[in-house]
Amino acid sequence: MLLSLRIKNYALIESEEIEFGEGLNILTGETGAGKSIILGALSLALGEKANKESLRNEDEEALVEAIFSIDDEEMKKRLSEMDVECFDDEVILTRKVSSTRSKALINGESVPSQKLHAVGSMLLDIFGQHEHQSLLKKEKHMEIIDEFGGDDLFSVKEKVSDAFFKYQKLKDELDEAKSSSVNREKDLMYLNHEVEEITNANLKEGEDVELENEYRKMKNSQKIMESVSEAYGRTSDDGASGLIGYALSSMQKALLYDENLKDAYQVLSDADGLLNDFNRTLGDYISDANFDGEYFNEVETRLDLINNLKSKYGNTIEEILEALDEKSKEIEKIENFDGYLEKLKISLKETEEEYLKYASLLTKKREASRDKLLKEVRNSLKDLNFSNTEVEMPFGVSDTYRKNGLDTGELLVSLNLGEALRPLREVASGGELSRISLAIKTSVASKDETETLIFDEVDTGISGRTAQMVAQMMVHLGKNAQIICITHLPQIAVMADSHFVVEKEVIDGSTISFIKKLYNNDKVEELSRMLSGDSITETTRDNAREMIENAENYKMSV
């Protein structure tokens, strides 16, 4: 729900913050006091187009910030899918407007205004004389029918969606197969050439590593021999080995006179043995060393072949062999193309039949949902002084398959006896649309995912019994959603769970709008003003108190 709305430097408002409550929130005030300004500011926070003309002071930035509380897990999931996370179960929508630019933010992070609008429309719906009246959108009407149908309808709708995407995938595969059939012969020839090229190479996993090591050794054989010969020369009889021999002879003489040198003599003797082994190994290596030019060319040629295949089919021998497997399967598919095509057509036909089966079932579910909903709406409209109003929603059939089924439809309304049914968007005025919206919303309130509903001027052209029924509908609707309603009628205002009044004053030659929440006597005074204008008497106040008492008793009974 909408927790608070902060407005700064917007139209007649210098700086105000409204903290809304659960249930029915009522805004009242004299005509021109600034009630519409509040909705205009809220619309701005929901992503509507910014207008620098609304700046109170052009040298300062206007700010509108709406804080929403989110406790519904499904709503959190939907927001998360839009990369919007709830912090402490709250989402903050902000709009900043200056004379040169506009900035939209969600939870303090800059976002496009379109995203702000998309998120805002999930959290709040405004019904009244404003641009984003969802009921005027034709696509919204089928959503209302689906919503009213509940989980049973949605489970079928999901099956339709699953079948549609399965059908579409197979259809795309079939279309691609048909378009590629023209080049089948050419493709087969090319694939056979590639398979033959890889197969003839007779590759073995890991052989490229072995060959590269062998090639590197042979290519650097001269450097290796120079280094080995150098090491041999320095450790042979003319080098370290000879010196250690002289040292051993000297140590042996010393050992005759002092046996304590025995351990040192043994260490030197071991070193002499190791060095002799080392020299024998190097000597054998040098003797056996024989550069085979023919073998070198074979290794080089083999490596060139493998590297050429890598450049075409993969970075490793393993990847080349995987490519061979894939190309062999592709050849098999082309060689058995007619069978593959027939199998694909059969699968597509079966999936199409599955889609049509679930789409037909969805239509039946929607028809039942529509009939039940429209029956309730008609009854509600009679209570709202639409005694001669007819409302229908005939279904049509889409000429293409869609993920949401084949049904098309739009609410048609006849407001007066004898008038033809016409689309709602072409018929209803602002006040009429608000009351029709109220009738529909009351019927689907228990299933509505929108957390906050705003009704602007639902009381246009009504009074007496009709006004009382509107008020009672508001109460019922407020049991399942947060309602914010602007009204001029005391019958509606008295039902408020939270009552706000909008007033304007002239201070230092400047007109400023203020918003304050009413309690006890202040509420009595505002209802008295709504009942009798400026001529407030004690009798009027008593009447207001009686209305408040009756309203409280009614709210406790529902």
Please give the Cα distance from 79 to 342 (Å, whole number).
44
Please give the Cα distance from 241 to 175 (Å, whole number).
82
In order of 137, 158, 330, 343, the CA distances from 346 in angstroms are: 39, 23, 20, 5
Beta sheet of 102-106, edge-to-edge order: 13-19, 2-10, 62-69, 90-97, 102-106, 109-111
- Number of structural domains (the chain) is 1
Asked if residue 118 is part of any domain, the answer here is: no
Buried b (16+ CB within 10 A) or exposed e, 117-138: bebbebbbbbbbbbebbbbbee
Q: Which pLDDT does position 334 carry in this prediction? A: 77
Q: Which pLDDT does position 130 carry in this prediction? A: 43
Asked if residue 226 is part of any domain, the answer here is: yes
- The residue length of the chain stands at 558
Q: Which pLDDT does position 19 carry in this prediction? A: 94
DSSP state of 398: -
Asked if residue 174 is part of any domain, the answer here is: yes
Asked if residue 300 is part of any domain, the answer here is: yes
Q: Which pLDDT does position 129 carry in this prediction? A: 46
Pairing of strands 452-456, 124-127: parallel
Cβ atoms of 5 and 46 within 8 Å: the answer is no
The single residue listed with the structure tokens 């023209």 is 182
- The parts of the chain modelled with pLDDT lower than 70 are 126-134, 180-183, 185, 220-222, 225-226, 287-293, 295, 428-431, 434, 445-450, 457-462
Amino acid at 481: A
Q: Which pLDDT does position 445 carry in this prediction? A: 60
Q: Which pLDDT does position 153 carry in this prediction? A: 93
Contacts of 376 by beta carbon, 8 Å cutoff, 6+ apart: 443
Asked if residue 181 is part of any domain, the answer here is: yes
Asked if residue 546 is part of any domain, the answer here is: no
Asked if residue 46 is part of any domain, the answer here is: no
**Domain extent at residue 311:** 151-360
C-alpha R_g of the chain:
43
pTM of the model: 0.59
Cβ atoms of 419 and 91 within 8 Å: the answer is no
Asked if residue 343 is part of any domain, the answer here is: yes
Please give the Cα distance from 404 to 142 (Å, whole number).
10
